[in-house]
Amino acid sequence: MRTPFIAGNWKMNMSHMEAIRFVEDLSYELSSKKNNCEICICPPFTALRSVKNIIDTDKLEFTLGAQNMHWEEAGAFTGEISPLMLTSLKVDYVIIGHSERREYFAETNETVNKKVEAAFKHGLKPIICIGESLQIRETGKAEDFVLGQLIECLNGIAAKNTMDITVAYEPIWAIGTGKTATSADAEEMCSAIRDKISHLYNPQIAGMVRIQYGGSVKPHNIGELMSMPDIDGALVGGASLKVKDFAAIINF
């Protein structure tokens, strides 16, 4: 059984004080129900320590994720964050290769692959983002493109590490646009991703890897998405910034 995995990607939002209040409010909102999924909060770097302190002090059943990292441990990389910096804050997960990083900051499958290797070296669990643009989808080559991304991002990654990988399928045309892939479309791609992992490694590993859907996930569509056999969770953007919406998604 794969434990459902809901991660909130706050992107460039919330100060550390706002983050503290949000996590406290979310905990209160969820307190009346038993959550049967793993919950991960991915705040900006400036709020990581504050969120971790709240999680530990209040003994919350949340995990902590970073939104990015460099593959080097240290060096002349102005503005970057190293895996050692994240592990010193007891970060659990790191989002790697988000479409906004690819589009705005020139990240490639090669750099994603380096970051995945570095994450495992330092005990971090990567959430690897892959997905196609509307232009690619309209050519009918979306599956080939997405699976090509997957292959390059996992290049050289040992089988023993893959069980700690989360793959986030995020159709770029559905991120922040209000558009959402139909549950059938999302399931078709997530199923293809799982099948490719099975061929790259083995069926047992493919059965353990969690695959999230990301792309305008809202309270009204999470239930249908999560009913699909190969969708194990969601990488939530805008809705993760609203306590009641994020709580409703967690309580799908």
Catalytic residues: 98, 170
Scanning the structure block, which residue is given the tokens 């997405």? 146
Distance (Å, whole) CA 225 – CA 234: 9
Contacts of 159 (CB under 8 A, 6+ apart): 201, 202, 205
Look up residue 89 and give its DSSP letter.
T
β-strand partners of 235: 7
Cα diameter, the chain = 51
Q: Is the dihedral of CA 184, 93, 132, 202 positive or negative?
A: negative
3-state SS, residue 18: helix
Distance (Å, whole) CA 44 – CA 11: 6
Angle at 198 between CA 195 and CA 199, to 5 degrees: 95
Q: Where are the alpha helices (DSSP H) in 69-218?
A: 83-88, 99-105, 109-121, 134-138, 142-153, 159-162, 183-200, 203-208
